[in-house]
């Protein structure tokens, strides 16, 4: 038998096999999620509306563009979650972020495709542009493996509608708390949360401290106006001024909170898509300034 190091048996390196198995697992899960989401939406939601040949629809004027920010936010975080799973599967950082961005676009495209064959809506170029913006914002910041300096976040505060408009709000946004969070644009705020230490490169700033700029809208009881037809075909007009608002607040990058516990790291990463409650300054298009002691 050869002596020295030549005679020693090397341990088998099974990392390649492990990563191959993980890649198949992640690919299978994401494909299954895409297919099941497409089937579920098509059969449970879109089946209730008349179909027509593929067509386009301009929905840019609707909801003060709040729905477009929803597309940006959703695609950004789907891309982020997908990239993390590909990184776990053994992909390089560059491969993972590109696959994550493609996955984010693919998942969001389900809705656009189904809309394109539905009479009530249609394929929205602006929705696709919003999806691409979310994927690009993730992609352009994630190539080096570091946490992004710019993060998109969401906050929601329930709206207490006046008694004469509660029925209309329920028809539009539903009655369940989860339905309101997803559909009631009057209660949503989308934030661009900026990591101050990363953009300023100043060592004396805590690594978790962010400054957040928010956008929201209010007093909307219809996509394009506050006029609608009631159940007997009469036009109802709500004398409410639709308003946009810009907010400024502090925020926390939860992924920068030091901890050695894996479950806490995972929890912080999952919830980093949401803005923490904090004081905020608000300016509305009506010309009003508001100071919120605690805004969410």
Report mean pLDDT in 10-residue bins for the chain, 296 residues: 43 58 93 91 87 95 97 96 93 94 93 94 96 96 82 96 94 88 95 95 94 98 95 92 97 94 92 96 95 92
pLDDT score, position 47: 87
CA torsion angle 275 276 281 286 (round to 10): 40
pLDDT score, position 62: 96
pLDDT score, position 289: 96
pLDDT score, position 15: 55
CA geometry: angle 69, 73, 75, nearest 5 deg: 115
pLDDT score, position 174: 87
What is the pTM assigned to this prediction? 0.90
Hey, where are the domains in the chain?
A: 19-146, 147-296
pLDDT score, position 18: 63
pLDDT score, position 2: 44
């Amino acid at each position: 038998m050869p002596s020295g190091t030549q005679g020693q048996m090397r341990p088998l390196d099974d990392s390649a096999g492990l990563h191959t198995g993980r890649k198949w697992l992640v690919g299978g899960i994401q494909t299954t999620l895409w297919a099941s989401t497409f089937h579920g939406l098509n059969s449970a939601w879109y089946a209730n509306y008349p179909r027509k040949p593929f067509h386009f629809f301009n929905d840019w004027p609707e909801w003060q563009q709040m729905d477009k920010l929803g597309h940006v936010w959703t695609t950004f975080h789907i891309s982020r979650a997908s990239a993390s799973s590909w990184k776990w599967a053994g992909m390089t950082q560059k491969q993972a972020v590109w696959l994550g961005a493609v996955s984010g676009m693919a998942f969001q495209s389900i809705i656009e495709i189904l809309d394109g064959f539905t009479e009530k809506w249609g394929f929205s170029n602006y929705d696709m542009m919003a999806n691409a913006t979310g994927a690009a914002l993730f992609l352009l910041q994630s190539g080096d493996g570091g946490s992004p300096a710019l993060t998109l976040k969401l906050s929601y505060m329930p709206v207490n509608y006046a008694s004469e408009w509660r029925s209309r709000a329920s028809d539009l946004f539903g009655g369940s708390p989860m339905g309101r969070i997803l559909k009631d644009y009057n209660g949503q705020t989308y934030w661009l949360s900026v990591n101050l230490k990363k953009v300023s490169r100043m060592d004396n700033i805590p690594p978790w401290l962010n400054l957040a700029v928010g956008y929201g809208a209010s007093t909307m009881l219809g996509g394009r106006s506050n006029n609608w037809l009631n159940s007997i075909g009469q036009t109802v007009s709500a004398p409410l001024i639709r308003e946009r608002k810009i907010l400024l607040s502090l925020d926390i990058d939860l992924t920068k909170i030091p901890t050695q516990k894996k479950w806490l790291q995972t929890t912080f990463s999952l919830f980093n898509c949401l803005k923490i409650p904090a004081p905020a300054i608000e300016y509305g298009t009506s010309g009003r300034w508001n100071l919120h002691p605690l805004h969410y």
